[in-house]
């Protein structure tokens, strides 16, 4: 059993996924983490799938799969096949400092936390920082959470919690779903700062409609049946 299964959703990243992955792989090797890396293509319109298949053949302990469109779909597909004692997921756009992965793993192994994650004090531009702060405040208001950066990843937790989380969201709201459920389960959560890295290449796929969808999801998740049903059935197989 690997110590860590790390899931990397891949969407329209044919022009930069290999150098980003190589840098992460070097960090994993340097720190001697027993890790399987799971690349999950999810609905790309470019050659991302072909490239990650080549990456999986080139790099040991690397898996390449494909699933339907959606960041959450990719995370769920990776979790389904993950074999590690710990499971994590993170973006593969080059904005995550790979050196943060061994730091997070050491925290959860040695300090007794149930879930560890990053927070991003700086963002690409002021607009995204403002939206992130408002999103965090909204989550705090609706769910009583004290998490600075809901979407900040990598997030790492023991695989044993997956049956309790019963994650379902196939879009980017999966990070919010995970943090809400971890909070309701009274898990010990630790956030640490991660330095900002400019995007390796390409542009953000988020737009004003993405943010509108975020806030619609918050309201629907708080007052809809999905969360209430989970609360009644959490932990049941």
Q: Which tens digits make up the pLDDT trace of 32-83?
A: 999 999 999 999 999 999 999 999 999 999 999 999 999 999 999 999 999 9
This prediction's pTM: 0.90
User: Rounded to whole angstroms, how far apart are CA atoms 182 and 9?
Assistant: 21
pLDDT (0 to 100) of residue 89: 98
Whose tokens are 């997956």? That residue is 162
Q: Which residues are registered as beta bridge partners of 86? A: 4, 158
User: Rounded to whole angstroms, how far apart are CA atoms 8 and 21?
Assistant: 9
Which CATH number is 101's domain given? 3.90.550.10
Interacting residues of 36 by C-beta distance below 8 A, sequence separation 6+: 2, 4, 5, 6, 61, 62, 63, 82, 83, 84
Count how many domains the chain has.
Answer: 1
Q: What is the rounded average pLDDT for all residues in the chain?
A: 89
User: Rounded to whole angstroms, how far apart are CA atoms 142 and 136?
Assistant: 10
Query: Which of these ranges, 21-30, 80-89, 135-144, 170-179, has the smallest mean pLDDT?
Result: 135-144
DSSP states of 113-143:
-SEEEEE-SS-SSHHHHHHHHHHHHHHHHHH
Structural contact between residues 199 and 95, judged by C-beta atoms closer than 8 angstroms: yes
User: Strands of 189-193's sheet, edge to edge?
Assistant: 62-67, 35-42, 4-10, 86-89, 155-158, 115-119, 189-193
125 has a pLDDT exceeding 60: no
Domain that residue 28 falls in:
4-233
């Amino acid at each position: 059993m690997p110590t860590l299964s790390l899931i990397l959703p891949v969407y329209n990243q044919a022009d930069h996924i290999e150098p980003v992955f190589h840098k992460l792989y070097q960090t994993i090797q340097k720190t001697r983490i027993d890790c399987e890396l799971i690349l999950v293509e999810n609905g790309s319109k470019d050659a991302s799938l072909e490239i990650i298949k080549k990456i999986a053949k080139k790099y040991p302990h690397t898996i390449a799969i494909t699933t339907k469109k959606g960041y959450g779909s990719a995370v769920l597909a990776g979790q389904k096949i993950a074999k590690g004692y710990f499971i994590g997921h993170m973006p593969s756009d080059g904005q995550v400092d790979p050196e943060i992965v061994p730091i997070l793993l050491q925290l959860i192994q040695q300090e007794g936390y149930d879930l560890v994650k990053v927070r991003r004090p700086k963002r690409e531009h002021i607009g995204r920082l403002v939206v992130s702060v408002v999103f965090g405040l909204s989550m705090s208001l609706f769910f009583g959470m004290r998490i600075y950066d809901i979407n900040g990843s990598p997030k790492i937790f023991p695989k044993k919690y997956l049956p309790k989380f019963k994650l379902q969201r196939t879009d980017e709201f999966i990070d919010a779903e995970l943090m809400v459920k971890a909070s309701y389960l009274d898990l010990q959560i630790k956030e640490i700062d991660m330095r900002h890295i400019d995007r390796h290449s390409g542009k953000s796929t988020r737009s004003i409609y993405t943010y509108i969808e975020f806030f619609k999801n918050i309201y629907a998740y708080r007052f809809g049946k999905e969360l209430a049903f989970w609360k009644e059935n959490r932990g049941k197989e």
